[in-house]
Amino acid sequence: MTTIRILLVLAGIWFGWYGIGLLLDFPRADLISIALWFGGAILLHDAIFAPLSALVGVTARRILPGSWWGLAACGAVCTVALVLIAAPVLGRGHAMPDNPTVLDRNYPLGLTVTITLIWVLVAVTAATRFRRTRTSTSPDTATPRSTP
């Protein structure tokens, strides 16, 4: 196990060094822009996203039953990830009139369908889990005890 960890650390150091080497080939203006984007992303995460996630998590934890918490958290993480990935292309359909093949889909509809599918799967999983739990604890399915 220690050998694997050492190899993973060495691979991570090598990939980091390679990435830094690629960054150093950029012009100074691009490096400043990259630094601002990283700094802005960190500030956005720490000032808005993390506290909002904590608030939603605490609220959901108080509202939802314990057996639903994991499913709701999984659905929420998938939803947030999809929204963040789709954010740059939402509302930019056919952004390049000289090349109609760029951004040629209805991205808001695709995002809506995908998020709906995620939450339908969460609901189906919750219903299946609820039904399985209810039938396994039902007195009708309990095994009879043998009397001595």
pLDDT digits over 75-127, tens only?
A: 998 999 899 888 888 877 656 667 766 777 788 899 999 999 999 999 999 88
Q: Quick one: residue 4, left, alpha or beta (phi over 0 = left, psi -120 to 50 = alpha)?
A: alpha
| Cα 93 to Cα 79, 101, 107, 108, 114, distances in angstroms | 21, 10, 8, 9, 18
Q: Is the pTM of this model over 0.85?
A: no
| pLDDT tens digits along 58-69 | 888 888 887 788
pLDDT of residue 143: 55
Q: What percent of the chain has pLDDT over 70?
A: 85
Q: Is the pLDDT of residue 48 over 80?
A: yes
pLDDT of residue 98: 73
Q: Which amino acid is at 43?
A: L
The candidate with the shortest Cα–Cα distance to 112, out of 90, 88, 134, 132, is: 90
Q: Is the pLDDT of residue 146 over 60?
A: no
Higher pLDDT: 99 or 139? It is: 99
The candidate with the shortest Cα–Cα distance to 76, out of 55, 91, 92, 45, is: 55
Q: Is the pLDDT of residue 44 over 70?
A: yes
pLDDT of residue 17: 95
